Amino acid sequence: MDTLLDIRNLKMNFGGLKVTDDVSLNLAKGSRTALIGPNGAGKTTLINLIAGAYRPTSGSISLMGQDVTGMKDTDRVRLGLIRSFQITRLFPDLTVIDHLAMAILQREGRSAGMFKSYHRMPEVLDEAMEALARLRLDPLANRVVAQIAYGQQRLLEIAIALVLKPKVLLLDEPAAGIPSSDMDRVVAALDNLPAELAVLLIDHDMDLVRRFAREVIVLSSGAVIFRGTPEQLGSDPRVRSAYLGEDA
């Protein structure tokens, strides 16, 4: 399979503290990989490095064969690397469909001034409604975000990420704070992601990780201590010691 994201020997130091310790990983087309680890393991720092929020102390990051180690986060987005945020970053006074239209116009490189007239752009409206329908959000299209449930906001966040047409999607805790009554909708949304999309999921919900991932990577103290299938996860002594709090 074609490698879309290739990370080699990534290190990140804050002062004398080693936060990312020689991490290597790659995602191919269609990858479904989960990144887990205890609090303080370095997951957020690693995702920030991949997304371009931080520059590593050493190591390299390649996207579609292009070295992006020193590239800005916005340029990585244009290459197809999209991150959904752990904390929902939506505009409470804009409608659900406003958010989709804004993302589509951004993807197409159109002027921000065109946002006010997107209602007269049938191709934008059709694509936005189709994206909402895939996540069963279309009945909420004209509701402002402040009026929809938290779980629906998280689904909207996934819809926004998808209309940007990513090649690599970093899903940062998509299930965080979602009530159990909405969890099936999140799982269904993840199950229906485009087959060719490479996905790196970061989440603490082990049931979700086991249902979604074909590969699991465990970080501890900034280093990879396990790489394998969800079925192998529970029997690994390093995982039990570092992540599950059991003696090895």
DSSP 8-state code for residue 20: E
**pLDDT tens digit sequence for 86-138:** 555 899 999 999 999 999 988 888 766 677 788 889 999 999 999 999 888 99
Homologous superfamily of 3-242: P-loop containing nucleotide triphosphate hydrolases (3.40.50.300)
Tell me how far the alpha carbon of residue 16 is from its chain's centroid. Answer: 29
% the chain with pLDDT above 70: 94
pLDDT surpassing 90 at residue 226: yes
Tell me: the pLDDT tens digits for 12-62?
Answer: 999 889 999 999 999 999 999 999 998 889 999 999 999 999 999 999 999
Confidence of residue 213 (pLDDT cuts 50, 70, 90): very high
Residues 60/9, Cβ–Cβ less than 8 Å: yes
CB atoms within 10 A of CB 209: 19
Which of 19, 22, 60 is CA-nearest to residue 224? 22
β pairing state of 81-84 and 32-36: unpaired
Cα R_g (the chain), whole angstroms: 19
* pLDDT tens figures, 169-212: 999 888 888 888 778 888 888 998 999 999 999 988 888 999 99
| Residue 247 confidence (pLDDT) | 46
